[in-house]
Amino acid sequence: MSNDAKSGTDGQWPLWEVFTQAKSGAPHEHAGSVHAPDAEIALQNARDVYARRGEAVSIWVVPTAVIAATSPSDTGPFFDPASDKAYRHPQFYKVPQGVRVF
């Protein structure tokens, strides 16, 4: 048995990121990750690890390796374009006193 345990990948499986939806209509949110040899087992593992108490009505799993993300060093320049555009917010616009806009 101990020899068998050393053979193959011994559970050294790819990492999947898990996103759970708490209730219908809510967004899927990152819950954590699991290791699994394929998507089907990743979903089952995700259910056992992140939804033992009915925390989810839907689960997505995504191979961690295919997720592209911004890097913290880019944070400034990457998001800069949004920081000087106050005119995208309603507070930028003046409304005559006493008028209810919303």
Partner 1 sequence: MTPSNVAQPAADDPIRVAAFEGRIAAGETIEPKDWMPERYRKQLIRMMSQHAHSEVVGMLPEGNWITRAPSLRRKMSLLAKVQDEGGHGLYIYCGTETLGVDRHDLIDQLLSGTAKYSSIFNYPTLTWADMGAIGWLVDGAAIVNQTVLAKCSYGPYARAMLRICKEENFHKRQGYEIMATLSKGTPAQKAMAQDALNRWWWPSLMMFGPSDKDSPHSAELLRWKVKRKSNDELRQRFVDLTVPQAHAIALVLPDPDLKHNTDTNHWEIGPINWDEFFNVIKGNGPCNRERLEARRRAHAEGAWVRQAAEAYAAKQRGRAQSTAA
In DSSP terms, which residues pair with 23 in a beta bridge? none
Minimum separation from the CB atom of position 54 to partner 1 (A):
13
**Are residues 59 and 47 in contact, defined by beta-carbon separation less than 8 angstroms?**
yes
Q: Which of 23, 26, 40, 58 binds partner 1 (CB under 8 A)?
A: 40
Residue 17 · residue 50 · CB < 8 Å: no
> With binding defined as CB under 8 A, does residue 41 bind partner 1?
yes
- The residue (of 41 and 60) whose beta carbon lies closer to partner 1 is 41
What tokens does 57 get? 């009505």
In the complex, least distance from residue 79 CB atom to partner 1, rounded to whole angstroms: 15
CA distance 22 to 56: 4
Q: Which stretch binds partner 1 (CB under 8 A): 3-11, 77-85, 94-102?
A: 3-11
Residue 40 CA to residue 45 CA, distance in Å, equals 9
> Residues in the site for partner 1, rule: CB under 8 A?
1-2, 4-5, 7-13, 15, 17, 32-38, 40-41, 48-49, 52-53, 64, 67, 69, 71-73
